[in-house]
Each structure stands twice: as C-alpha cells, then as structure tokens.
Amino acid sequence: MTRHLLSAGDLDRAGAVEILDTAERLDHALAGREVKKLPPLRGRTVVNLFYEDSTRTRTSFELAAKRLSADVVNFSAKGSSVSKGESLKDTALTLEAMGADAVVIRHSYSGAAHRLAEWVHGSVINAGDGTHEHPTQALLDAFTLRQSLGTLENRVIAIVGDIAHSRVARSDIHCFTKLGAEVRVAGPPTMMPAGIEALGVKPCFSLEQALAGADVIIMLRIQQERLDGALFPSVREYSRTFGLTQRTLGLAKPDAIVLHPGPINRGVEIASDVADAEPSRILDQVTNGVAVRMAVLYLLTGGDKA
C-alpha cells in the first residue's frame, strides 16, 4: 500500500486483497482474547478528524486504533477552533505539530482528504468526503461478502439508491469490480449519474431488472432532503418503486445477501423485516468495520510485524 488511503480507485486487486487478508488475520488474532488488544501500533498516535456527524465510522476507527494499542485523539469540528474560523490547513498543521502518525478525516467537501494529504507527513485515511468516496466502507462490505460467499469473482451485486450522490456506491463499484464481481446500479434517472457505464457497471432503471438473479443487494441510504426536492416526487413513491421488501427480495437469488451502509431509513429504502432478519448482514458490516480499519491502520503506519 501507499502512504494514504484516499480512494478505493487507488487500490489495485492485490492491494484490496492484502487489506482483506490482513483484516482476517487480525480478527483471528483477537478471537478468544479476554483483553482485545494487540501491540503493533504502541506509541503511535491516530487522530479522528471529523467535520461531519458520525457514529459507526468514528467509533469503528477509534476501536480499531485502540485495539492496536495506538493513542487516539478524537477531534470534532463542533466546539473546536473550526467554529472560530480555523481553516482545514491550519488544523492539519496543528495536528502535524502534535505528532499525529495517521489522520482519519471525514468532511462534507469532496477532495478534502486529498488536500489534507498534501499538508501532513503522516498517513491520511479518507472516512468519507462529500459525494466522492468512502473507501473503508467498500472494503468492509467486501470483507463481509467474502465471509459468506468465499469470493466475489463472477458474483452479481446490485447497488440500489441515489447512485449520483453516494460516496459509498462509488467506492463499492471500484472495489467490487477489481475483485471480479459483476456490478449493477439501480435508481431513479434523476439519481443516476451520466456515463456511469464507464466505471464498468450496468445501469438499471427498475428494481426488477437490477435484482434479477443477484447474489448481493446493497441498499443505499436515501437522504430525505433529496426526496423533498426535485429528484423524486415523495418518500412513498420512492419506497414503492425502489424499496426492498420481502416481495422484491424474492426477485434475487434465494440465498441473496442484503447489505446497507447505515443509518437505515426504515420503510423507505428497506423494510424492517428485511433489515432485521436473514439474509441481512447489516450488523456483520458494523462488526467487520473494526477489523478492516485495523488492517488499514496497521498497513499504512507500518505496524510492528513482531
């Protein structure tokens, strides 16, 4: 791996597999331990720099760093010097002066992680930047699928929702196609970016077309503000057309796996009885996020292999 993880598109197949294999080894190393800690990052400092609200991602990175024995600093834009007008660059230089070995950044502006990587000497991990990418989410999705399917080679994966504005969708596409999967994307025409075929995916404009014979279904969170605007008439209309229910789940393969990056809008993109029971692996995604982010931190910061 390079010094940073800014985009799933920067990873080749070997790089993605290395992260997934390392996550599996770390997960096995922690299994059965009363104290879930390993020593590789002892003495290193990881900063969680979050300009957007987050529960799963921030907590997952914090647990990952602590389980590798790193020191963790959680930085929130609210209540910090950012609220007084401090720029991202000045914040980055402050963290650099404090000796941060890795900075995990989530920001509402696309490209913020790339800018940060220009200013700091430590590793930068993109935890979601605007509508651009969220690479560790794609990796934990792939890790979860490998647990159930063994391989993504020639598997049919349907990603459904607001493809145009989803950083998860973009990272998933990069990751899954490199691992050999056939990827379909589905959503209303107003939520489908022009030229999406260039990423090696098949665009579908009906749920039936996307789910037919699918091995995996990934439902994306629909932001309510997009439904209240001009992109789609109403929540009820979206749910009726693109919502995953027990009926529409039957369009996929009988053992199809259901994923969702969270948080879930129950009754909008996915029904509660689908989200909470087999074949849902949504809680497995949360659990696996820690192992995958441990692997990323370990590989990027040159953890002590001993």
Asked if residues 20 and 138 have their Cβ atoms less than 8 Å apart, the reply is: no
Prior bond of 40 cis (ω within 30°): no
Q: What do you get for the CA distance between the two ends of the chain, in Å?
A: 19
Q: Catalytic residue at 3? A: no
Distance, in Å, from the CA atom of 257 to the CA atom of 218, rounded to the nearest integer, reads: 8
pLDDT(172) > 90: yes
pTM of the model: 0.93
Encoded tokens for 68: 């590798």
* Among 45, 57, 177, 301, the one annotated catalytic: 57
Q: Catalytic residue at 170? A: no
Q: What is the DSSP string of 237-252?
A: HHHHHH-B-HHHHTTS
The interaxial angle of helices 282-300 and 56-67, nearest 10 deg, is: 50
The amino acid that residue 293 corresponds to is R
* Among 106, 174, 260, 281, the one annotated catalytic: 106
The amino acid that residue 45 corresponds to is T
In this prediction, residue 222 has a pLDDT band, given cuts at 50, 70 and 90, of confident
The amino acid that residue 224 corresponds to is Q
Prior bond of 39 cis (ω within 30°): no
Q: Catalytic residue at 221? A: no
* Among 4, 67, 132, 134, the one annotated catalytic: 134
Structure letter (DSSP) for residue 102: E
Distance, in Å, from the CA atom of 270 to the CA atom of 153, rounded to the nearest integer, reads: 26
Q: Is 49 helix (H, G, I), strand (E, B) or coil?
A: strand
Say which residue the tokens 């659990």 belong to.
287
Q: C-alpha 203: how far from its chain's center?
A: 21
Encoded tokens for 202: 């098949």
Q: pLDDT, tens digit, for every residue of 275-285?
A: 998 899 999 99
Stretch among 35-39, 72-76, 209-213 having the lowest mean pLDDT: 72-76
In this structure, how many other beta carbons lie within 10 angstroms of the beta carbon of residue 206? 11
Highest mean pLDDT among 21-25, 230-234, 237-241, 260-264: 21-25
Q: pLDDT, tens digit, for every residue of 9-43?
A: 999 999 999 999 999 999 999 998 888 999 999 99
3-state per-residue secondary structure call for 118-152: HHCCCEEEEEEECCCECHHHHHHHHHHHHHHHCCC
Which pLDDT score is estimated for 306? 38
In this structure, how many other beta carbons lie within 10 angstroms of the beta carbon of residue 129? 25
* Among 3, 56, 66, 114, the one annotated catalytic: 56
Q: Catalytic residue at 67? A: no
